[in-house]
């Protein structure tokens, strides 16, 4: 399969203007192209991925990386996603029924059919099984990493930053010093950011997830050079598996320079 050609030939709804447009429009002469095939826009993986992109935006710009993302949802979910994460609307497209994911043969997650349950209800059960690590390798370990900390990962919350993650009270970044110090991902630090994302999604569930049939569908990351050659590829195999290097999800950018 020629991944770049498949992407180049694909047209989807662009969030910025609601128009159906080639997803690689405007990417013809870029230095490097980062294409993110995201799962349901209400998926915690994507909110976390977008957080990393925002955090490393200066680095991405300095290295000449152009980004396009395609997530499962509709324009309303895309607008909500961009409002919350700061991801640019002109770079986000939506695929309401995950056709592009199927064309790229990405992992669908568990797809068990349960008697008496609708497609959406079955997807919910399958999602819960995947959250428990069934058909989703590495998920439980990644959940625990959020609570236990990771000395290989950078500090995620600045000392003066205030995090609002209901039902917890507002937490100042310096609070996490008591959990282990500074300069690395402290215990509960990532878990707190994930709680904030969970609160956001559950508070706006019908907007983020207009069709629950695709809850288990996983995504992928592709990085191309200026000659359309594939430099890096990561296909998600489970929940919270959006990056090979969990400690620094965007490390592949620096590792794959032209």
> How far is 82 from 210, CA to CA, in rounded Å?
16
Strands (E) in 15-167, as ranges, are: 20-22, 32-40, 65-72, 92-94, 162-163
Structure tokens at 5: 């050609």
Structure tokens at 48: 């976390």
Q: What is the pLDDT of residue 89?
A: 98
Of 71, 93, 108, 72, the C-alpha closest to 18 is: 93
pTM summary value: 0.95
- Give residue limits of the domains in the chain: 3-255
Strands across the sheet containing 32-40:
20-22, 11-14, 92-94, 65-72, 32-40, 220-224, 230-235
Of 121, 114, 96, 92, the C-alpha closest to 14 is: 92
Q: What is the pLDDT of residue 258?
A: 60
Q: What is the pLDDT of residue 241?
A: 97
pLDDT in tens, 173-227: 888 988 778 999 999 999 999 999 999 999 999 999 999 999 999 999 999 999 9
**Is 89 exposed, middle or buried (CB count within 10 Å of its CB: 0-12, 13-18, 19+)?**
middle
Report the alpha-carbon angle 158-159-165, nearest 5.
70
Give 27-54 as a DSSP string: -TT-SEEEEEEEEETT-HHHHHHHHHHH
User: Which CATH superfamily, name and number, covers 3-255?
Assistant: Glutaredoxin (3.40.30.10)
Q: Give the chain's residues under pLDDT 50.
A: none
Q: What is the pLDDT of residue 60?
A: 95
pLDDT in tens, 147-164: 999 999 999 999 999 999
């Amino acid at each position: 399969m020629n991944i770049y050609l498949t992407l180049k030939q694909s047209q989807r709804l662009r969030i910025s203007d609601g128009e159906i447009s080639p997803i690689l429009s405007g990417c013809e002469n870029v230095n490097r192209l980062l294409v993110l095939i995201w799962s349901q826009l209400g998926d915690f993986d994507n909110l976390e991925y977008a957080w990393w992109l925002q955090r490393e935006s200066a680095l991405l710009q300095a290295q000449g990386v152009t980004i396009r993302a395609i997530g499962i949802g509709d324009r309303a979910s895309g607008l909500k996603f961009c409002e919350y994460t700061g991801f640019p609307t002109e770079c986000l497209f939506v695929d309401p029924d995950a056709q592009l994911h199927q064309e790229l043969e990405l992992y669908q997650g568990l797809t068990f059919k349960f008697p008496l349950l609708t497609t959406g209800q079955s997807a919910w059960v399958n999602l819960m099984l995947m959250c428990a690590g069934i058909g989703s390798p590495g998920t439980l370990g990644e959940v625990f990493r959020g609570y236990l900390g990771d000395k290989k990962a950078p500090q995620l919350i600045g000392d003066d930053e205030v995090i609002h993650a209901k039902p917890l009270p507002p937490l100042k970044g310096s609070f996490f010093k008591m959990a282990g110090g500074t300069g690395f991902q402290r215990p509960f630090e990532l878990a707190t950011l994930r709680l904030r994302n969970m609160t956001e999604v559950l508070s706006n569930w019908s907007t983020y997830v207009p069709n629950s049939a695709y809850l288990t569908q996983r995504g992928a990351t592709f990085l191309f050079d200026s000659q359309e050659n594939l430099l890096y590829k990561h296909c998600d195999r489970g929940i919270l598996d959006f990056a090979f290097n969990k400690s620094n999800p965007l490390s592949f950018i620096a590792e794959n320079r032209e």
